[in-house]
Structure 1
Amino acid sequence: MLAVAERRLLNWLCAHMPPWISPDILTGIGMVGALAIFMGYAGSNWGVDWLWLAIAGYVIQWFGDSMDGSLARYRRIERPSYGYFIDHSCDGLATLLILAGMGASPYIRMDVALVALAGYLLLSIHAYLSARVLGEFKLSYLSAGPTELRLLLIGLTIAMMLLGYAPGWFGAVSGFDLFVGIVSAILLILFVKQTLSTARRIASSERR
């Protein structure tokens, strides 16, 4: 939904980026943002104001993660194999930090956060396999991609600040647990659906 506006912003940032800023530095900035998110959620055990660090971390992580490849393409200094490997390795680690941080907070149970982590990583694995066997790379589903997901998580974090922790209808399960659980179920369903669809495409092409 935000791809066109985001691309305009990224192009503007690339044109105004200092020469000493490299794609590798931006990748490192993205990982600093992911670590800040983890620390913000984990620190919320000692005070709700720590969640501001998590929100700032999402902005920093978006900046680094979105800008590294964009800057490389803008300057025509791409290293396709190296960039692909480093970028997606860091994506996996960043996702782990974000969801482990959520699980370490008082708002979301660790087991619920880990199911969400599994769902996201399964969809990522599907994207990497599709890139290998079909030559198509896709990380956006239901008109939403990583940027929209970050905005959703920022909204969830703001809700944590405003509503606080309150167990729901199932005792130890909070409303935040239910929300993340529903998102996890959607991710898992999307993985199964996309896997079956891709498998049919591959089978059809190999029968010809």
Structure 2
Amino acid sequence: MVGNAVSEPETTEPGEADRSKKIFQDRKRTNILRKYEQQLISYLVKNTPLFFTSNVLTFIGFLGSLLVFIGFVLATYINRNYLLLGVIGFIINWYGDSLDGRIAYYRNIPRKWFGFALDIIMDWVATVFIGLGYMVYAKEELELAAFLFVVLYGWAMIISQIRYKITDNYTIDAGLLGPTEIRILLALVLITEVIFKDTIQFFAITMCAALFIINCLDTRNLLKLGDERDREELELKSKHLPNA
């Protein structure tokens, strides 16, 4: 989320086409499904009832992650089929998390920095709940995978914030993979686990390894960007220094 709808709308409303275009201008997307995802979001923001404010949608997104956690717990102590609650939870989480900021921009009532701060915090809380849920479900020797997933996803979040600070361009994707693709992969893992018990352990280790490699590559690129900006600022500063 980048906008959060609480403030009063401006008196001059932009046209429908302008508002639809504006909702994606604050961030650069590179994920595989961006075209179809943006088409779906454009449709949803136009047809979402007014009482679904940005804050309400943020809370709905959180409830989705909480449902994933509950699904893991019920699957551990009652029946493995309850993991399918997690699939529903990821859909709910996508709905709330994807629309909260977009709908604020569409309604022309964004709160950029409030929304940005709230979104980062809630994303982290959601990730922790999902990781805790898997930790409950996982076998003892693989609880470490749940911890690593939370740590590695947190590392990815930190990279995105530092990249924003250095480049002034906000992106939430790691190349062709974004939060939506990660949710889909996790949902498929849950479905596979319901059908074939203990396959989630293999996927957990594989995803942690993939996240580690992606984070290492992104960190290297981030340091290059930081070095380039340092050089640019030093050159600019030297131009403004008086001649010795």
Fold conserved between structures, TM > 0.5: yes
1:79 aligned to 2:111?
yes
- Distance across 2 between alignment mates of 1:79 and 1:186: 34
Amino acid in the other structure paired with 1:29: I
Matches within 5 A, 1:121-132: 121-132=154-165
1:190 aligned to 2:214?
yes
Find the counterpart in structure 2 of residue 144 from structure 1.
177
Instruction: Give 1:141 deviation, angstroms.
Output: 1.9
3-state SS of 2:171 partner: coil
Gaps of 5+ in 1: 166-174
Matches within 5 A, 1:158-173: 158-165=191-198
Residues 35 and 57 in structure 1, CA contact (< 8 A), matched pair in contact too: yes
Structure 2 residue aligned with 1:156, among 186, 189, 194? 189
* Cα distance, 1:61–1:107 mapped onto 2, change above 3 Å: farther
Runs of 4+ residues over 3 Å off in structure 1: none
Matches within 5 A, 1:15-26: 15-26=46-57
Find the counterpart in structure 1 of residue 122 from structure 2.
90
Residues 34 and 98 in structure 1, CA contact (< 8 A), matched pair in contact too: yes
* Cα distance, 1:4–1:94 mapped onto 2, change above 3 Å: same
Percent of pairs identical after alignment?
26
Return the TM-score normalized by structure 2. Answer: 0.77
Find the counterpart in structure 1 of residue 91 from structure 2.
59
Find the counterpart in structure 1 of residue 16 from structure 2.
none
* Cα distance, 1:107–1:10 mapped onto 2, change above 3 Å: farther
Amino acid in the other structure paired with 1:195: T
Residues 54 and 100 in structure 2, CA contact (< 8 A), matched pair in contact too: yes
- Distance across 2 between alignment mates of 1:113 and 1:182: 12
Residues 44 and 106 in structure 1, CA contact (< 8 A), matched pair in contact too: no
- Distance across 1 between alignment mates of 2:228 and 2:34: 32
Find the counterpart in structure 1 of residue 136 from structure 2.
104
- Distance across 2 between alignment mates of 1:6 and 1:123: 21
1:201 aligned to 2:225?
yes
- Distance across 1 between alignment mates of 2:35 and 2:62: 25
Higher Rg: 2
Residues 30 and 65 in structure 1, CA contact (< 8 A), matched pair in contact too: yes
Return the TM-score normalized by structure 1. Answer: 0.90
Instruction: Give 1:136 deviation, angstroms.
Output: 2.2
Structure 2 residue aligned with 1:113, among 146, 151, 162? 146
Residues 60 and 93 in structure 2, CA contact (< 8 A), matched pair in contact too: yes
Bigger Cα displacement from structure 2, 102-111 vs 180-189: 102-111
Amino acid in the other structure paired with 1:33: G
Residues 139 and 146 in structure 1, CA contact (< 8 A), matched pair in contact too: yes
Instruction: Give 1:113 deviation, angstroms.
Output: 1.1
Find the counterpart in structure 2 of residue 5 from structure 1.
36
- Distance across 2 between alignment mates of 1:201 and 1:51: 41
CA-based RMSD of the aligned residues comes to 1.5
